[in-house]
Amino acid sequence: MTRLARIGFIAASVANVLIGIVHNTVQATTLSAPEILTHLDAYGVVPELGPSATLSNLFQGLSYLMGFFMIALGAVSLAALFDRPKTSNPPVSVAMINMVMLAIVSWSGFVYLSMFQAIGGIVGIMCFGLTVWSALKFKD
């Protein structure tokens, strides 16, 4: 069972990295199209953030950060796993942190984005949930 928990943990962690890479690739290409940025710039400056903080700069910055944070979360999760013996369960605390983040992804998918994000978050929760279940059921 530990092996299955490790596979689920690896799959979900690698998915975090891939999602971050794909997200930043889409941001750099499709979502950085001049017509999108021009439309956002039409709203003007976000005064609370300073004179150079246009809505397009805010959108670009937050979007890239989200992608890089996904890559970092996946990489740190994998590092935490590979720092443990191969015969042990994945770290439950890391799995729980990922599950909270994925619950927020699912919520934002349901409320603001699309079913793609909502379903992806649920699948990720299931992969990391396998880790938690395995650790509780089968002690190292």
Instruction: Indicate the pTM of the whole model.
Output: 0.81
**Residue range 18-38, pLDDT digits in tens:** 989 998 998 898 888 888 888
24: left (phi over 0), alpha (psi -120 to 50) or beta: alpha
The torsion region of residue 66 among left (phi > 0), alpha (psi -120 to 50) and beta comes to: alpha
Question: What's the token pair of residue 36?
Answer: 């999108």
Structure token digits, residue 55? 């809505």
Look at the chain and report how many structural domains it folds into. Answer: 1
Which regions in the chain score pLDDT beneath 70? 138-140
DSSP state of 140: -
Which parts of the chain are beta strand (E)?
none
> What range does the domain containing 130 cover?
2-137
